[in-house]
Every structure is written in C-alpha cells, then in structure tokens.
Structure 1
Amino acid sequence: MKISEAAVAAGLDVSSVRFYERKGLINPDRGEDSNYREYTSEDIDRLKKIVLFRKIDMSIEDIKKVLLENQDITEVLESQMEKLQQDKLQIDSSIQLCQKMMDEGYTDSDTERYISYVYEAESQGQKFPDIMPVLDQISQNSGMEKVIGYPIFLKLMANTLSRRLLSVGIFLVMVIFPLTELVISIFKFLSGNGRLIVIVLWCVYSFLLISIFGKMLGITSKA
C-alpha cells in the first residue's frame, strides 16, 4: 500500500510516517519499476508499535533499541517507567510552584525570591524541570544524520556535550542569524542605504528557518 494508506492504517499522518522513515525506524520497499514506496503489513505493525511506544513518551533512541537492536523490551520499559516517575516529580513541583505564584500574586519584583525558593527546594531533594533537555530534542530532530551519516550522528548523540553544542549551533544559524540580518536590513532601509526587497527576502527566509526550527522542537509538528 502507499504512504497515505499506511498512515491511515497506523493512525498517523503522512508527515509522521516520513519522520519515522528518516529516523530509520521503518524501511519500506521500493518497487523496481516505481518511485513509490510500498508498505507491507509488517511495516504497519511496526508503525503501530512506534505509536504505542510514543504514547508512553519513549524516545526515538529507545524505540530503535527495541525495534532495530532487539534490546529486551522489559528492560526498556522499566527504564522508561523510571523516567516517567522522574517527570512526574518535576511536574508536581512545577504545579506547586505555579500555584504558589498564583496564590501570592507574582510580580516582576518577586522573581529573585521565587528563584531562591526553587534552589532551596532543589537542595532538599525536590525536582524541577531541567531546561537542557530541550537542546537534546533540537539535536535529535535536526535531521543531521542525513548530512553526516548515521554512525557519526549516533556517536554525537551519545555524548551530552556534543548534542548540546550541535543544538546551540543550529539555534544560532536558524534563528539568531536570519533575525539579525532582518534587523540589519530594516535599519539600512530606514537610513536610505537598503532596499525593501531585501527586507522581504529576509522575512521569508527567517520564517522558513524558524518554522523548521519549530518542527525540531515539536512546536509546529508533533510526530
């Protein structure tokens, strides 16, 4: 069957099926006389497993371990349960902090006091969300494996520092750079040294890059 049929059968949209193909989780056959991929019942079964695993927030890396590396599913599920329990502790702490801020009527002048509260709570063992995993998500969804190859990409992803350096580089190139150029072109135009067409082009370019960056974060597309 074609990709649209496979997507319906697995309860996904076409973009999600393509996303999992890019990540190497499925590899449908391509007919000798056709440029279209043909999805088998085995492909659909694998897609449904992916859907199930994603419903428990299992990472793409862990799904690969189960589907491609034949790692024991019980071990992976136990590890995932530990992660979910840690996430729950963080969410509970965030809810408590949010409620405290609402009850006490948070204002800008209270920021330092609440930061101190968080640090004190963390020193006593309470867990709050870490902002750094966002960088991991950017690097994981960057699609850089198509450029540098899977072996090197997987080695980069295995190292925390390299993952986060990659994500920071992507952020600088896809968000900071185009916005900076857009602002510069606007100032040049206002001073009489620039052209309107340049501003329009940078607006379009910035929109495209930031949209792609949003997909990496899962903001504009949830796979």
Structure 2
Amino acid sequence: MNDSLVTILGSSYFEPISALLEKLEKHESNISNQVQSGYYEKGFAASICILSVVCLESYVMRVRYINSANQDHIDRTPVVSYLKSLYPDFPFENELLELHILRDLLAHNHLWEISYSFNEDDEMEISEVEKRSSGDKKYRQRVDTENHVTKTLGLNVNPIKVGASDVKLVLQTMWKILLFLESKNRNQCYVSHLRAVYKGTLRQFGEIIGMPETCT
C-alpha cells in the first residue's frame, strides 16, 4: 500500500525565522541612518523578510491544493489575485502586495546610486538618488517614491535601509494573513498553535513576533 504527501514546507520555516530573530536582536543597534541600516542588522533583516514571504507563499500553495486550484491558478495566478478571487473579503490586498515588493527588491537586489552628505551631527543624509532598477507595476502603484517607503506598511524600499522595523512589520503582516486563512479553513492553514524555540524556550510563534493576543 502506497501513502502520499504534498511538498509543502509551511511551518518548517518558523524555527529558522526564530533563530534569525535572535541573531538580529544581538546585532541590532542605533547606527542606522537615513542612508542605511547597520551592517549586521540589514543582513539579518533582509534574510528574515525574504524567508517570511517565502513561508507565506508556501502556505498559499497549500491553500491552492486544498481548494483544488486548477493548473493555471497553480502556475500563473499571483498570490494576491488568487486569494482575492477565493475570498472576496480578503482584507490585506495592499499589504500583501507590499510584502512581495520587499521580497522582490531584496531577492533581486534593486540597484540604487545614492549621493550622501554628513549633517552637523555627523549623520549620513541622502543628497540624491538615482534608482537603476525600475521595479514592476505593483512597485509603481504601492511605493511612495519621494520618501522611499511603501504606502500602507511604510516598508523601506532602499535595499540597504531595510532593518529591524521592517522585520516587525513583515512578520506581523504575514501572521495576520495566515490567521485569516486559518479562520476560513483550518485544514488549509493551521498556525495559531505552532511553536518555535526562542532564546532557549519553546514559545508560540505569535508571541515570538510580538502578537501574543493571537496565540491560543
């Protein structure tokens, strides 16, 4: 007799994310400025943000599978479009687009040329920016190009400025979306009970990312 399974990573990402959060907190500092985050901060922050969006995408693939999505929906339909078609009351359309913008600009390392100067407090300030990577449609729709942040979540879109504050926004937005999917059908996405090791203690993941009210 043969058994079967589907290749969804899903919750397997929570332990690595938790481990990276610990690393980020050890290196997080006050040396971030208008131009960039600290050397270690931006590296760990970018890693967590990418991994968090990949984790979310993994769960959405399970949603597609459980809901018997056709091949076109599996291969070609973007995550935001699919969730909105499946659940017209999905309330995080703009937020999810912005998570994907951040994922794209980090994964493809958008290229900027930044001219900067030092103010009277010896802090770096941006003088001029030439953005060599143009971004796609969602980037043009959801980014405040004057302030270099996304319009709803306020995520930094300068790749070397991404830091701890962006991590918090990304993780909490990811978690809200996962809990929404859980509320629709636990069989497709059941996460509220999941735990990970954080600072030597097994804790609920919602608590680790600062959303204890979502823990059960």
TM-score, structure 1 as length reference:
0.29
Task: Give the number of the structure whose alpha-carbon radius of gyration is greater.
Answer: 1
More strand by percentage: 2
More helix by percentage: 1
Higher relative contact order (CA 8 A, sep 6+): 2
